[in-house]
Amino acid sequence: MNQPSLRQKLFRTTSIPAGEDESVSLIPADSLHRTLGVFSLTMLGVGGTIGTGIFFTLAEAVPKAGPAVILSFLMAAFTAGLTALCYAELASRIPASGSSYSYVYASVGEFFAYIAAACLLLEFELAASATAIGWSAYLNNFIENAFGWHIPLALRSPMIVLGTNGTEFHWGQLNLPPVILIFLCGVLLLRGVRESIGVNTVMVLIKIAILIFFAVIALSGFNADNFSPFFNTDNSKGFAGMTGVTAAAATVFFSFIGLDGVATGGAEAKNPRRDVPLAVIAALLIVTVCYMLVAVTALGAQAAGKFEGQDAGLAVILQNVTGKVWPAVVLSAGAVISVFSVTLASLYGQTRILYAVSRDGLIGKVFGEVSKKTKVPAKSTIIVCAFAALISATVDSGYLWDMVSMGTLVAFGIVSAAVPVIRRKPIDADSHLRGKGFRVPFGPHLIPGLSILSCLYIIKDLSVTTYTVFGIWMVIA
């Protein structure tokens, strides 16, 4: 019997499910419960997206782009929109858990699927850690304004800090609140997907209400002069003009990680070929509108120069605009409750990707084991939460934002490249599903090609450190 060549091993693919039953999956049907509809999947995407780019990263992005950070969000949204169309087609053809990994494995092959999986693991793990760190700042702001007490600095500061002169180590510090948040998320995920998604939906609705609350009050302090000059004019760090806009777009791009979050639920969707594409596009539209509304009102209410280094920024803006504490208390309380859903969605996504990769035999079987009682990958959930808690307790979030964006952009680019490949593959010998489901408009090359070029354009302005760490991770993985 002939042994497969190295090339055949690297580019072998899994079969695409077929048949008239649209609930079939690359994953055995008796492993995960199919309980998610369009609304639940959309809320999963929105929950994993809103709360990162707006609640936390304006302090990182505005110093790079100035008021033109609005263009950064539009650039990121445009790229995410192109990729969302690619995700929608692949989800309608490959209704599986594992998101980008499963799509690439069924089309391009095992080698690129493993690269996609490595990117996704980096993306979701660091996103969970980074958002948990940002949650800590809003928790402290809420406690301080509501009760006049604050968490001791040594218990809300990381051990490894990105200082002005590089990496600094503070051995007596530990960021405890993110650990508590991740523990609570882990407990909820272990109870089962139906309970997790139900809580997530409530938190998403709270989050949207809080952001509308912010925009209405911030609008009362709107000053058009804050938008002049529109572009960053300080070139001391190389961020003047459009360079700053692109660099900021790379920083905030991880905010669109929610698209992957929707796709990871393919094996738990009631009708994945219909529900996942609809949820991906609906989540993108909701997120983009919310981001633009808050970004414009925040910049109108506060000069761009005040964003740098600002903790719990949106709460501070409301307090400055109104001269009162209660709006900041309301916003911080809403952030504390709703940002829970971002961390929850990121941890959920990672466990489902590990589940899919394990079932394909590329990593240990422990990640593919499902609890008989709750029908969730319990051991994988515990391992993922433990690592996320360790990172969030010890590492400064300044190290994490761009790394998440790097993983997201590379994964999005690979997914886009899979579209023209999957178009050429028959679904099975009878081709029952050929032509069914969503298809990217204007053919299989234009939009996927634009998506890849957009990802590359944003990636080019990430730091050398980000490239170095990403390269090390890929070698280790």
Helix (H) or strand (E) holding 166: strand 166-169
* pLDDT for residue 52: 59
* pLDDT for residue 217: 92
Mean pLDDT for the chain overall:
78
* pLDDT for residue 197: 63
**Within 10 A of 135 (CB to CB), how many other CB atoms are there?**
28
Is the Cβ–Cβ distance between 352 and 386 less than 8 Å?
no
First to last CA, the chain: 32
Is the Cβ–Cβ distance between 136 and 175 less than 8 Å?
yes
pLDDT band at 450 (very low <50, low <70, confident <90, very high): very high
Residue 210 has pLDDT above 50, yes or no: yes
* pLDDT for residue 448: 92
Beta bridge partners of 36: 269
- Residue-wise pLDDT for 375-429, tens only, equals 788 888 999 999 999 998 888 877 787 788 888 888 888 888 888 888 876 654 4
Residue 432 has pLDDT above 50, yes or no: no
Residue 11 has pLDDT above 60, yes or no: no
4-18, 392-406, 461-475: segment of lowest average pLDDT: 4-18
**Within 10 A of 233 (CB to CB), how many other CB atoms are there?**
11
* pLDDT for residue 105: 80
The mean pLDDT of 8-36, rounded to a whole number, is 49
* pLDDT for residue 408: 83
How far apart (Å, rounded) are the C-alpha atoms in residues 296 and 319? Answer: 18
Helix (H) or strand (E) holding 198: helix 193-219
pLDDT band at 21 (very low <50, low <70, confident <90, very high): very low
How far apart (Å, rounded) are the C-alpha atoms in residues 235 and 239? Answer: 5
Is the Cβ–Cβ distance between 246 and 73 less than 8 Å?
no
Q: What are phi and psi of 302, to 5 degrees?
A: -140, 135
How far apart (Å, rounded) are the C-alpha atoms in residues 215 and 295? Answer: 9
Helix (H) or strand (E) holding 161: strand 160-163
For 300, half-sphere exposure in the C-beta direction (CA atoms, 13 angstrom radius) is: 17
- Residue-wise pLDDT for 309-367, tens only, equals 777 778 888 888 888 888 888 888 888 887 777 788 788 878 888 887 887 777 778 88
- Residue-wise pLDDT for 226-250, tens only, equals 998 888 888 777 788 888 888 888 8
How far apart (Å, rounded) are the C-alpha atoms in residues 200 and 376? Answer: 16
Burial status of residue 153 (CB atoms within 10 A of its CB: 0-12, 13-18, 19 or more): exposed
Omega of the bond prior to 277 within 30 degrees of 0, cis? Answer: no
Tokens of 136: 């800590």
Q: Is the pLDDT higher at 441 or at 194?
A: 441
What residue ranges in 253-360 does DSSP mark as E strands? none
Enter the pTM of the model. 0.74
* pLDDT for residue 26: 42
pLDDT band at 18 (very low <50, low <70, confident <90, very high): very low
Residue 433 has pLDDT above 70, yes or no: no
259-273, 299-313, 413-427: segment of lowest average pLDDT: 259-273
Q: How many residues does the chain have?
A: 477
- Residue-wise pLDDT for 130-140, tens only, equals 888 888 888 88
70-74, 101-105, 115-119: segment of lowest average pLDDT: 101-105
pLDDT band at 430 (very low <50, low <70, confident <90, very high): very low
Burial status of residue 143 (CB atoms within 10 A of its CB: 0-12, 13-18, 19 or more): middle
180-184, 297-301, 333-337, 413-417: segment of lowest average pLDDT: 333-337
164-173, 283-292, 352-361: segment of lowest average pLDDT: 164-173
